[in-house]
Amino acid sequence: MSGIALIVCFVIAVVVMIVLISKFGVHPFIAIMLVSLALAVVAGIDLVKVPAIIGEGFSGIFKSIGIVIILGALIGMALEKTGAALKLADMVVRCVGDKRPELAMLIMGWIVGIPVFCDSGFVVLDPIRRAIKEKIGANPVAMAVALSCGLYTSHVFIPPTPGPIAAAGLVGVGHNLLLVIAVGAVVSIPVLIAGYIFAKSIGAKVSLKEDLADVGKSYDEIIKEHGKLPCAFLSLAPIFMPILLMALGSVVSILKLKGSFANFVLFLGNPIIALGVGVLFAVILLAKTGKLNEFNLMTNETLKIVGPILFITAAGGVLGNVIAKAGFVEFMKANAHLIGTVGIFFPFVISAIIKTAQGSSTVALTTTASIMGLFTDSGSMMSALGLTSEMGAVLTVMAIAAGAMTVSHANDSYFWVVTNFSKMSPEQGYKTQTMLTFIMGIVGMATVWVASLILL
Domain boundaries, the chain: 3-455
Per-residue pLDDT for 214 more than 60? no
Identity (one letter) of the amino acid at 397? V
pLDDT given for residue 327 in this prediction: 75
pLDDT of 445 > 50? The answer is yes
In angstroms, the Cα distances linking 269 to 179, 181, 199, 274, 298 are 12, 14, 38, 6, 26
Q: What is the mean pLDDT of residues 376-383?
A: 86
Model pLDDT, residue 379 = 79
Alpha-carbon span 385 to 400, nearest angstrom? 14
pLDDT at 216: 60
Over residues 32-42, the mean pLDDT reads 92
Average confidence (pLDDT) over 160-180 = 92
Distance from C-alpha of 235 to C-alpha of 108, rounded to nearest angstrom: 13
- Kindly tell me if the per-residue pLDDT of 432 is higher than 90: yes
Which whole number is the average pLDDT over 349-377?
Answer: 88
Question: pLDDT tens digit string along 403-422?
Answer: 999 999 887 889 989 998 88
Measured distance between the N- and C-terminal CA atoms of the chain, rounded to whole angstroms:
34
436-441-444 Cα angle (round to 5): 120
Q: What percent of the chain has pLDDT over 70?
A: 93
Choose the weakest-confidence range: 166-170, 218-222, 424-428, 441-445: 218-222
**Which CA distances in Å does 94 have to 89, 100, 104, 235?**
9, 11, 9, 15
Mean pLDDT of 98-120: 89
Q: What is the mean pLDDT of residues 163-178?
A: 92
Task: Report the pLDDT value the prediction gives residue 418, as an integer from 0 to 100.
Answer: 92
Q: Confidence class of residue 212 from pLDDT cuts 50, 70 and 90?
A: very low
pLDDT for the residue numbered 210: 57
On whether the CB atoms of residues 219 and 135 are closer than 8 A, the answer is: yes
Band of pLDDT at residue 329, cut at 50, 70 and 90? low
Average pLDDT over residues 255-272: 92
- Sequence-separated (6 or more) residues with CB below 8 Å from residue 453: none
Q: Is the pLDDT of residue 304 over 60?
A: yes
CA atoms in the 13 A half-sphere facing the CB of 199: 28
1 falls in which pLDDT band (50, 70, 90)? low
Q: Taking all residues of the chain, what is their mean pLDDT, rounded to a whole number?
A: 88
- 351 pLDDT band (50/70/90 cuts)? very high
The per-residue pLDDT for 411 is: 79
pLDDT of residue 231 exceeding 80, the answer is: yes
Model confidence at 333, pLDDT cuts 50, 70, 90, reads low
What mean pLDDT is predicted for residues 244-265?
Answer: 91
Q: How far apart are CA 423 and CA 419, in angstroms?
A: 6
The model's confidence at residue 2, banded by pLDDT at 50, 70 and 90, is low
Between 145 and 384, the higher pLDDT residue: 145
Confidence of residue 8 (pLDDT cuts 50, 70, 90): confident
Q: Which amino acid is at 379?
A: G
Stretch among 18-22, 296-300, 418-422 having the lowest mean pLDDT: 18-22
- At residue 144 the predicted structure's pLDDT band, cuts being 50, 70 and 90, is very high
As a whole-number percent, the residues of the chain with pLDDT over 90 amount to 47
